[in-house]
Each structure stands twice: as structure tokens, then as C-alpha cells.
Chains A and B, each alone.
Chain A
Amino acid sequence: MGEVILEMKEIDKTFPGVHALDHVNFEVRKGEVHALMGENGAGKSTLMKVLTGIYTKDSGSIIYEGKDIEFHGAREAQDAGVVIVHQELNMVGHLTVAQNIFIGREFKKGIKIDDKKMNEEAKKLFDRLNIDIDPTATMSDLTVGKQQMCEIAKAISHEAKVIIFDEPSAALTESEIEDLFKIIRDLREQQMAIVYISHRMDEIKVITDRVTVMRDGCYVGTLITDECTKDDIINMMVGRVIYEEPKTKSMVAPDAPVVLKVEHLNAGKMVQDVSFELRKGEILGFSGLMGAGRTETARAIFGADPKESGDIYVNGEKVVINSPQDAVKHGIGYLSEDRKRFGIVVQKSVAENTTMADLPNYIKGIFINKKKEREVAQKFVDSLNTKTPGVDQLVVNLSGGNQQKVVIAKWLCKNCDILIFDEPTRGIDVGAKNEIYKLMNKLAAEGKSIIMISSEMTEILRMSDRVVVMCEGRKTGEIAIEEATQENIMNMATREIG
């Protein structure tokens, strides 16, 4: 490990309502692979965005190569040698590999772009990194892993000194990860400073030299990888503070019937052989890290994405669900994690949104029975305690929590007995969160069955009667609430897959 090339001191950043970074310290040395870890929302990405100038910091200082600097945008950081390899690939699919690597700074011969030279330069770059990719290949024809390699090559071709990998292995196969590590080691040899953001505990142990852990926007500590255990890191990530009283005992009657049974469900890479049961009146927590395949599982069950194989039983009967319509027919409702995109039509009124899924019941002749629609909507506004000036209010004007209630009303209106809540409290403030929790408990008590996908450990522990844990598209554990702890859930969520 060489000298410190980059140091971030007391970085502070507040977004409206959220203290995203609370005086965070971070440093990285030349020739070091430094892991940045933390739960979802711990502030890792925000910190890196502050570094590369995508966000401006409120206070604190960044010292790069001995100088106090502040970048204004990714381009400026790039020119100075600080580059990010994004989790989402930023590639132009219709262009070739070489054209992508040099996009924005093409070699030219007169007015003609010198593709030949670009191919040669790309080839040299790949040779240096020991990557075997044809520079003339069309980008969209490459595997995701190869595309990732190109992204790395592109980053390096900027004369990078600090490279930040944001969850680089998320979409890679085992052998591709091997290749990636080889490249990272080579880069380390060349005295580059590497920041490695990942959830995969095993990778951290293999590739990194030091680990910095963040939690809730705060800096927790930095460890030398070889001197710590996986449990040490997990303890630092989850912390000791429990904000909410966890549920201590399942509220489900032991003889409650199984309302939904999923067997050996397969749907692409993110849903592999998932099986579970859901009982009447149960809140089944789905825990796991981002990209564990929970949303994909829910969407496959709901018929929003195609399934490859697997059986679904509703109330003991085998059903075929090929589309959301089928799912709704069988009483399954899905509350998307992205309300604005999938859950509600924000420019429509509360009443219109409430009856949207059940409109045929509100049609008189060719007209919508507005009176009945408003009555029913009002009923749900009252029973869910939705705070709105009236059922004619446009949903866009409601707060996040109340929007969520409108979505819930929509599915209740459709008489759905099985509700899948995907991140039900994302983007909702604390007070409203409690209301949603109360509402979920009430629904469960009334005999509705709920699958709750959540990335918040406290939420899982507080609400679930039982917890299913997923990791990389597989179910890696199932645990009764009585035995669930942050540690054992996190352990399953980060488990190595053989």
C-alpha cells in the first residue's frame, strides 16, 4: 500500500428530510483495494456521488493528490483521474466496443473518424488488462460481463488514478468475477487506488485490503480485511441500535390454512427455484439485499414477468397466472416498489385510482358510475384513514404515505386477499410509516395475507410473522420471527453460494 491519494474529511450532505451523509471520513491509498460497505441506504453511493461532483457537499473537504479540490460533474472528475464504473452500464448498444470506449474523444483523420486507430488502441488497452474482447464487436452482442469489462477499460483509458467500482459483480457469473478480480489485482499492481463497493462478504475477503463501513449516513469504522472476520463486518453494518420493537411472536394461528403456495418457481437469473408458503392472516417478510431477486419473484408470481417453470397454488388449487389480470382474478394484488411508475396514476383523482382495477363493476351502460365510485372511494378513505381533502383530489397532491394508501385501497376494492407489498414504506416519512404498519397489521388481523418485501431490517423484524431470505435469485433461508435476528438474517442474505 502506498501513500494516501484521496481523502474525504467530515463530508456532510443533507437532502430535504434526510441527513444523507453525517460527517463521513474516507480515504484510499495508492495500490490498495478499499471496500466500502453498508446496508442499502447507508450512504455509500451518495458519498461517491459527492466525490465525483454529481452531488455538491454541504461541508467537509476532499483532498486529492495533496490538493483541496472539488469536482463539478463526472467529466471533470474523469479528467482528473477519478472515474466511476457504474452499476448500470452506460454503453451505446448499437456501436462497437472500440467506438464505445473512445466515445466523446474519437481519434480523427481529417473529418473521418479513425476507427482503425481506435480499434488498435482498444486492443492495446485490452492486452494491458489481459481481456479477450474483439474491439470491433457490437456492444449489444456482448455478455453483460464483457460489457462490464469494456466499461472498466473505458474508465482506465482516461488515465485513471482512482477507480470506483459500484457493485461490479452484481450481474457477473462466477468465471467473469474471476476475470474481474484478475484485472483488479493487475490495477493494484500498477499502483492504482481502487474503491470497491459490494455486498458480497466473500468477495470482500478475497479482493480487498481494507474495509470502511457506513451505516445510516455515518462513518462507522475502517478495518484491515485480513484482521477481521465476516461477523465483525456484519456487526458494524447492522449496529446495535434497534429503533423499533421487533415482533417477538407470530400472530398467525398455527392451524391457519395455506392461501398461497409457490413451488420451484424459476424466472430468469434472478428467480431460481424459489418455494414458499403463505398462510391466512400472515405477514411474510422477504428480506435480502438489493438485487437478491425478491421483486423479480413477486413480479413472476403476479404474472408481470414471464415464468420459466414452477407451480402456484391459491387456496390449495393449482392456478395458471400468465398476466396480472390472471393474478387479480385469483385475488392477488401487487403494490409496486415504484408507486409512480406502476402503482397509481398521479394525475387522476383518489376515486378514479381506487376503482381503477375494478372498473367493470362501476360501469352503467357505457358510462362510469361516478356516484358509486365516489362512495366506495370515500369508504376506503375513511377505513384506511387516508388524509385527503376529498376523493376528487388528484393523487399527485397527496403525500407518499397517503399515495400508498390509495394503492392499498385499489387492491382492497378489487377484493384481493393476498397482497404483495414491495418496499411499502420507501420514501415515506416516519409518522406515515407507522400508519402503514398499523394498517398492514389490521389487514392481517382481518384475514388478508401479506407478502412484504423490505430492505429495511427493522421493518422486517417489526412486521413479519415469518421471514424468507433471498440472495442472488435463490431462497437462502426461512426463519420464524421468534428466532430471527439482524445477524442471522444478514448472514443468510450475504451467504456464499457454492
Chain B
Amino acid sequence: MKKKLLATLLGVAMVASLLVGCGSSAEEAAPAAEAAPAAEAEAPAAEEAAAPAAGDLEFKIVVKSFQSSYWQAAVTGVNQAAEELGVSVECNGPNAESDIADQVNMLTNYINAQPDGIGLAACDQSAVLDALQMAMDAGIPVVCFDSGVPDAPAGSVLSTIATDNYGAGATAADNLYAALKDTIASATAPVRIGEVNQESTSESITQRGLGFIDKFTELAKADGYTVAVVGNEFYVNGAKDKGDEASANIIIEVAVPAQTTVELCATEASAIMNKSDVIGMFGSNQVAAEGILSANENLDVLGTEPGTKILAAGFDAGSVIKQAIRDGKMFGAVTQSPLAMGKTTVETLYAIANGETVSDIATDGYWYDTTNMDSADIAPNLYD
């Protein structure tokens, strides 16, 4: 019975993905998905099998790593949804976000296990392309979450559930710029904003980093300043306007460590924070933000009063960052909703398995600081 069901579902998924493959966008895929029940109708045995499907559905989730409590929250969301929907879910992920090959390996293994759907948070945008093609060939629907895969083979990724990372980075820039506006206005010499990104390979991190840079530049220019971006080549070249360092009023310096570990992020952060013209810092994920805080342990330059202290904006939550915001060490941070993201991923996979049409879902990033971090709409997203 189970085998039959699987075979049927597989057939459905294959037809669906085949048709999706023909279309070039998610919208066009809609009729294909609608066509699926028709295929089912032709196989009467499948009809009765479809009803108790929920209990037998099996999804595989590949996260980026288990390095931060961010992923803990995402996995919690995944498990919650699995329980509510009565499906079985298995989660796995590499040891570190930089173990790209390990993750591809896990993904391939999952594809070979022929699940009913795969949720993927890709460590690297390009390394997973072959695997996605494989999944599509095997008729396994894939939903990306947290980070999208922009160059994925058409039709392989049915939905991307991600924070609008570019927008979230911009949110940080909005808040930081607003707080620093007066300091910049009164400055007699060029001022410096530091940005620490743990790497330059995943979409979520790079989008946040670039979102921050572009938004900050935009706001500063609107006020008549000139801005230059220096440091890591990837980000300098990715910025909309990299400016000219010699003539700029505001310099945005971007650092990327060789490995995604706290102590290397901290080393990079302290090199920037030691400069006397630094007025603001941005760490684009939990590790980078904690690196900035580690550096501050000795430097003691972070605070909430613009002008006398460096204002630092973080990203994500975790006990260390939350504590730092409460203590007035960190000015504020942007949080995503990993829990909701994990939940939505499973729900979307479930919807696909039931033949529903899905499209990309963007989740927001929220700014939080001492004033609102305990409020009802923010607090649940602030995992430890």
C-alpha cells in the first residue's frame, strides 16, 4: 500500500515538476499544479491513498548548520509544523556554515532517499545547483528557506521562503543612520562605519551586507554627503556605488574573516573598532555580531550615546546579543523570524504534496532595541 502511494505521489510530483519545468516562472506553474489532481483521478487506487497521506508524508530539511541558536529556532518551527500536520520530518545540517561540500553531500543523500519533499537552506548558492537538478529529475519538490538559490534550474525550487535579507540589512541602516545623523552632521573629518560579514558566499549574508551598504549610502547621499565603500572586494564591487575613499565624508569599511568563527570575526572587528574615526558598526549575523561584542570586551568602545561611543547594530538574537542590548552595549539589532520560517517551510512542502500551488514567501526583518524588545510582537522571535 505504502509503496503504491509513494509511486503515485512520485508520479504526481514528476508530472507537476515536469510541467513546472516547462514554464519559466512560478505563476505559470499554477495550471500545472492544478492539473495534478486530474492525473490522480485517472488512478483510482491513488484516490483513496491520498486521504491518509499526511501520516505517511516524509520531508527532509537541510539547514545551514547548527552553529547558532537561530537555527535552533528554525528547527523548532519545523518540528512544530510537523507535529501539527502529522508528517514526519528529518533535519540535518553540516557542522559549520562553511562546510559547503558536506551540505551538498547531505542533500544528495536525501535526494537518494526519495522523500516527499526537501526543505533547503543552502550554504552556498552555486554548490547546490547540480543537486537541485538531480532532485528535479527525481521528481522531488524543493522549498528553499532562509537563503534563496537565484540560479536554481528553472522549476527545481517551487518556493523560496526567506527574509528579505536585502531589506533587513536596509532596516539596520535606517535605524543606525537615524541615530548617527547628528554625529555625522557635526563631524569635522570623515567618519567610518564598520561592517563585519562572516563570509561572502551565501545569499542571505551578502544581501544583508549589501542592503546595509546601499541603504546607508542612499540616506547619506540624500543629506548631501559622499560615501566610499572599502575593504572586502566582494562587497566593495557589489555595492551600488563604491565611491572614492579620498574625497568621501563617510567611509564604510567591510571585513570578512577567513573562517566563520567567533574569534576570527572578533579579530577583524577589533581591527576596525580600534580606528578613532569609527562611529558605527554592523554585524550581519549572530556570529559576526558576537564577534563585535567579543572585540568590545577589551576595547570598551560600544554604547548607545552617539558621538562618544560607537553604535553597533547586530543581526539575529541569542542570549549574548540580547544581554548586550539590555546592557546598553549594543544599540540594537534586526531579527528575522526563524521559527515562523521553519514552520512555513514544512507547511509549504505539505501544500505541494497535496497538489496546491505555491509561490515565494518573503518574511520581514524587524528592528529591535531596548525600547521594544519585550513587546508582544517582537519578543517571540528573539530566541536564545
Q: Do chains A and B touch in the complex (CB under 8 A)?
A: no
- A interface residue numbers (CB < 8 A to B): none
